Structure 1
């Protein structure tokens, strides 16, 4: 594993956190230890960060299109406004991560853990979330049209205003999830029958910000 204490890791950190961001090589970040790193607006398109440690990292506005982030640990990281279109996030750890306004169109999030993640207004159109843990996550106004949520756990999730039109919810758990009149569901799907609760609009406080050093 690459450690931030190594010369190579420090060189990487300087490249991606300096005023002039450099393109990251395809294999540079695999297994890297970048816990708490400041990577705002970094160009990580097509980068290979498989199994990297990015706990608490600041990736606000970063570009990670087609990036390999499988098995990465992004717990409590801030990815607000990041572009993860078609990224591979299979089995990634995103517990308590801030993912507001993030682009995850057609991204692979199979088996990922997004416990209590904030996905407010996230674009998850056609994303693969099969078997993902989204329990108590905020999906307020999120675009989930055509997403695959087979076997996903949405227990206690906030689905106010979320668009789940044409979403595959087979075997998904939504007990205790909350939604409102603006939430869109697949044709014929009865959320209350599956344990979800309808609430008045604007009942839940969403004033949460990223906390970065």
Structure 2
């Protein structure tokens, strides 16, 4: 009901009450004039006054409530208008943000094709705000991955460098700055709600250096080159690294649980020591090249290491718990203090050329332990 209707109805009610009171007063005066007893006339006059006062009080109260009701109604209308305005403003703001995101993505795509390295780096950083956005996250991840695959190419004449002594050594070469920035953005993203696996197959990322904890869980990295890369604490769980090159890379404390590393190259890589433990639980590593890799103290459980080359690798104080090493080679491998008690697939003569000592625990004839739970 509008304020005008409120006011019209209220005035009509007051007018009707006043007209009725005037007619009632005339009627009462006629009745009083007919009374002969003075006492009765006085009592009738007092009763009429009391009645009139009551009616007038009611009218006064109604008159007082009219502006209050109108004010309340107007306040309610103003609140409704305010809420509607706020909703329109919020919708406008959200649409503006969406349009800004679309414009930012389109501009970044355009600038990534620039010949200027500075422009390409700026475009990459402009995409960082869209990572995690429900509407654009997957598109940005796909764009960054495509950019890396296109631009992370091997140099024309890459020379073999010496093996790094530690994970703090500076890599002998490194990716271009735009590729480095793109990989940093991918490494720090939240991948839990992604629709597709990150695809960096065949990317040349030799010398890549990332902050600890880089996230490449489930990524497709087949035939990618991570030689000399520094990937401390990297998450490569259930990633696919078939035929990938990780030679001379620092991979300590890395998560390779459930990964596929068929025929991957880990030669001279730094995988473990007494303070850091790389996890290869249930990894499928058939044919991997791990010659001269640093595996000191590494404990491997339930992995498939058939035909793996461990020649001259340092596996002192390590353990192969229910690991199948059928066909693996151990020529010159350091197994001092290693636990091979429950290793699967070792045959006579396989460890002839390995370095063992009295603390090396050799396999049992009958393995009574249950298989490793790879779930």
TM-score by structure 1 length? 0.79
| 1:32 maps to which of 182, 203, 214 | 203
2:259 and 2:283 in contact (8 A); partners too? yes
Determine helix, strand or coil for the equivalent of 1:99.
strand
**1:124 maps to what in 2?**
300
- Gap change, CA 1:129 and 1:107, over 3 Å in 2: same
Aligned: 1:82 with 2:254:
yes
Whole-Å separation in 2 of the counterparts to 1:145 and 1:165: 8
- Gap change, CA 1:155 and 1:15, over 3 Å in 2: same
Which is greater in Rg? Answer: 2
Aligned: 1:110 with 2:282:
no
- Gap change, CA 1:113 and 1:2, over 3 Å in 2: farther
Worse-matched range after superposition: 64-73 or 9-18: 9-18
**1:173 maps to what in 2?**
350
1:150 and 1:171 in contact (8 A); partners too? no
**1:197 maps to what in 2?**
none
Q: Give the alignment's Cα RMSD to 1 decimal.
A: 2.5
Determine helix, strand or coil for the equivalent of 1:144.
strand
| 2:228 maps to which of 17, 39, 56 | 56
1:15 and 1:21 in contact (8 A); partners too? no
1:86 and 1:105 in contact (8 A); partners too? yes
- Gap change, CA 1:29 and 1:171, over 3 Å in 2: farther
1:89 and 1:110 in contact (8 A); partners too? yes
Unaligned regions of 5+ residues in structure 2, if any? 1-148, 154-175, 367-375
Whole-Å separation in 1 of the counterparts to 2:349 and 2:289: 15
Aligned: 1:68 with 2:229:
no
2:299 and 2:321 in contact (8 A); partners too? no
Cα-to-partner distance string for 1:165-194 (whole Å, 9 max, x where unaligned): 2212137732321122322221149xxxxx
**1:183 maps to what in 2?**
360
**1:14 maps to what in 2?**
181
Q: Which runs of 4+ in 1 moved over 4 A?
A: 9-12
1:72 and 1:92 in contact (8 A); partners too? yes
| 1:134 maps to which of 310, 322, 332 | 310
Higher helix share: 2
Question: Cα distance, 1:60 vs. partner?
Answer: 1.1
**Count of residues paired in the alignment:** 187
| 1:4 maps to which of 131, 141, 152 | 152
Unaligned regions of 5+ residues in structure 1, if any? 190-213
TM-score by structure 2 length? 0.46
